Amino acid sequence: MPLGTLDRTPPPFFKQGPSALSKLMVCSALALFLMVADTRFKITQPVRAAMATALFPIQWTAMRPVLAVRGAQDYFVTLNTAITNEEAARRKLVLQSQRATQVEQLANENAQLRKLLGLRERLNTPAVPAEVLYDAADPYSRKVIIDRGLAQGVSAGSPVIDESGVLGQVTRVHPLISEVTLVTDSDQAIPVLNTRTGARGITYGDAGRHGSGGLELRYMAANADVQPGDLLTTSGVDGVYPAGIPVGKVSKVERRPDSAFARIVCVPAALVDGARHVMVLKSLLAQMPPRPAPEDAAPALKRSARK
């Protein structure tokens, strides 16, 4: 056979498309574009919501065996532990009954004083019960997923508490589930009040503290009156958390001569590593009356200026 009649093109097995470097550059540019677009325009938010809604039945089914194992473990609790818990619950119930009587009396006195001074009544905070489904997949953050979402009236920014104190804040809401950022997350900050001294401050989460996470009361002067054992509660000045909810307790105070601020380590009041049943509170900002319009405020300013 003459050599000129042979097909000199390589077989399809050896044909190559774009180089590996070109593919890497194109994929990197596309990924960077998607990240910037998602950060700027939130284009993937509907996709996330749709995927979360579609995967919820699968997640619910996958959680059934885990819940069954938990139920079996709870069922086989030893009798001694059950009796101890019952006795502790009875003692706590007696103390709460005494405190409830005092709180009722103080509430009546507070209402009378507010009427006497002409102050408005305190806002009542509606709440939605919820259950923690699982921890978030991100190992660098402190977040959990609860089984309440937009369908149950949960909104972003709502405070979340358990039976001991503030657990965190809702940071992302889907139709049927919501993401809660715990108080020990490094991006979480809560205005607090020292119940012993009345001093205000801000606690920040520290996910690496003591392995399981803790809190840090920052920007307090080195000579500030803060002692181990002080109880920190929400101050209510941010318009998000109702006032008086326990946030944490001071465990250690370090005053260094080379720093103008003290290093104050706190322990969260809520059970951040084992909470199962929580309450989602409505943000106080949604209950407050709207601000007056500029045209409505102008006549009042003029009248005050004339006076």
pLDDT, tens digit (0-9, with 9 covering 90-100), for 93-149 = 888 877 777 777 777 777 777 666 665 555 567 888 999 998 887 777 889 999 999
User: What is the DSSP code (8-state) at residue 186?
Assistant: T
Q: How many CA atoms lie within 13 A of 244 on its CB side?
A: 3
Average pLDDT rounded to a whole number, residues 158-187? 91
pTM for the full predicted model: 0.59
- Check: CB of residue 145 under 8 Å from CB of residue 132: yes
Percent of the chain with pLDDT over 90: 26
Question: What is the Cα–Cα distance from 59 to 42, expressed in whole angstroms?
Answer: 25
Residues 6 or more apart whose CB falls under 8 angstroms from that of 128 comprise 148, 152, 153, 154, 279, 280
**Residue 159's pLDDT band (boundaries 50, 70, 90)?**
very high
Question: What is the Cα–Cα distance from 279 to 163, expressed in whole angstroms?
Answer: 9
Higher pLDDT, 75 or 186: 186
| Percent of residues in the chain assigned helix, strand, coil, to nearest 5 | 40, 25, 40
pLDDT value of position 209 = 47
Which of 176, 203, 178 lies closest to 270, judged by CA? 203
pLDDT value of position 116 = 64
pLDDT value of position 202 = 93
Higher pLDDT, 171 or 121: 171
**Residue 170's pLDDT band (boundaries 50, 70, 90)?**
very high
Percent of the chain with pLDDT over 70: 80
Average pLDDT, the chain: 81
Q: Is the pLDDT of residue 89 over 70?
A: yes
Structure tokens at 187: 């991006």
Fold of 125-286: Thrombin, subunit H (2.40.10)
Q: Is the pLDDT of residue 264 over 90?
A: yes
